[in-house]
Amino acid sequence: MSIDRLGARAGSRPPRGARVSGSPDTISGGRPSSVGRWRFWGAAYTLLILLTGTNLPTPLYRGYEARFGFSPLVVTLIFAAYVAVLIPCLLLAGPLSDAVGHRRVLLPAVAVAVLGSLVFALADGTGWLFAARMLQGLAIGAASGSLTAALTELEPSGNRRKAALVSTVASVGGLGLGPVLAGLLAQYAPAPYVLPYAIEIALLIPAAAAVLALPATRSGKRWRPRRPGIPHAMRAVFATSGTAGFLAFAVIGLFLTLVPTYVATLSGSGNLLLGGAAVALMLACSALAQLIGYGRPARALELAGLPLLAAGLVLLALAGGVASLPLLLAATVIAGIGQGLVFLGGLTAVNQAAPAERRADVISSFYVIMYLGVGLPVIGVGLLAAAVGLLAAVQYFACVVAALCLMVLLALAIALVRAPARR
């Protein structure tokens, strides 16, 4: 089935600002030009590289703990500082991007990302780590909603479902690429706490070029900061998809902060690549699940993903109880598949329901929920680890989130059963 037909079947339509025949992004007959394709994939590359940079520290936190003398709780606080800056920036940048155009928001975001990597490379104390993570939070907060909206508007066929897929795969791909790249370089290359960030800075140069190539569009409406606002017609969709996504990203937060140490404790190995590879495996399975799930109904993806996510978390808890690396591997794969399906289903549902004139605003609000899921629960795990130990804290977290996944699954199933009766 062609992309055009798939988009028509999914009910997608060309969004505000879609290309028409005679524009730089089309050739005769309204077909997308190579310029339009390059702009779309350039935006996807930018999202991938920005998120790669934010997750380079993941396998390095154990080394930072030894160098600067802090506890796993401080790791979670460093991560929380990133989220604390990211969320208000999302709320400001989403409406700003709708008003002034994506390029004017994204170019400063890339520059701030370069600065964040530079501060990490120069870090000689814990305060530097907090500063670097806050700069990264500023960059991702400005870029996430804007890039996702730009992908929707730049998709050559006007297919929102394909745009959502590319956005989620680029996001999860960046989350996974960062830990494995940093772990590989830190374990086998010189300057382990400098080289990963130098490479990130180099990769951001073509990202800046891709942003400069974006069309300089703007809506003409006046920008003003505002609280998160969801159009009334899509609040039910946003509530269910946002709750499911919160839980899915809580699992990502756990993997990005504490699972590398969890893996090292179970394996008895200090290899930095091993911890980064566990995170990357989880996220690679997430990306693969999204590719396989492409084209399927949003709610079906969520209904399939939630029980898998719960099962993976239960296995993660059991792996710690019996000290089994094979069980941990199975838990990582299953949780990754479940996370990918839930994320893709949620973003697709929100993307399809969002009105064109408020797309970046609505998507930014959706990402606020996702990043709250990344940042808040893991602080609780860090506090709990200080009291009962890392293995027990991860086990408690996994069981609680698994139970919540099943509760959301039940709520979604009930909503779908009741929906035909209301029509």
According to the model, what pLDDT value does residue 419 have?
66
Measured from the Cβ of residue 373, the count of other Cβ atoms closer than 10 Å reads 24
| Distance, CA of 266 to CA of 335 (rounded, Å) | 18
Residue 39: inside a domain:
yes
Residue 10: inside a domain:
no
Domain that holds residue 342: 35-214+228-422
Residue 141: inside a domain:
yes
Q: Tell me, what CATH number does 203's domain have?
A: 1.20.1250.20
Two structure tokens written together for 280:
């990357």
**CA 121 remoteness from chain centre:** 23
pLDDT tens column, 25-54: 544 444 555 777 898 999 999 999 999 999
According to the model, what pLDDT value does residue 401 have?
95
According to the model, what pLDDT value does residue 32 have?
55
| Distance, CA of 98 to CA of 85 (rounded, Å) | 21
| Distance, CA of 260 to CA of 63 (rounded, Å) | 11
According to the model, what pLDDT value does residue 23 have?
40
How many independent structural domains does the chain possess?
Answer: 1
pLDDT tens column, 193-237: 999 999 999 999 999 999 998 887 665 566 666 566 688 878 888
Residue 221: inside a domain:
no
Residue 12: inside a domain:
no
According to the model, what pLDDT value does residue 422 have?
47
Sign of CA dihedral 12, 18, 22, 27: negative
Residue 179: inside a domain:
yes
Evaluate whether 200 touches 325 at the Cβ level (below 8 Å): no
Residue 118: inside a domain:
yes
Residue 21: inside a domain:
no
According to the model, what pLDDT value does residue 218 have?
61
Residue 233: C-alpha distances to residues 152, 207, 355 (Å): 20, 36, 10
According to the model, what pLDDT value does residue 405 have?
96
According to the model, what pLDDT value does residue 303 have?
94
For residue 149, which phi and psi values (nearest 5 degrees)? Answer: -65, -40
- pTM attached to this predicted model: 0.74
Q: Using 50 as the pLDDT threshold, list the residues of the chain that sit under it.
A: 1-24, 26-30, 421-423
According to the model, what pLDDT value does residue 220 have?
58
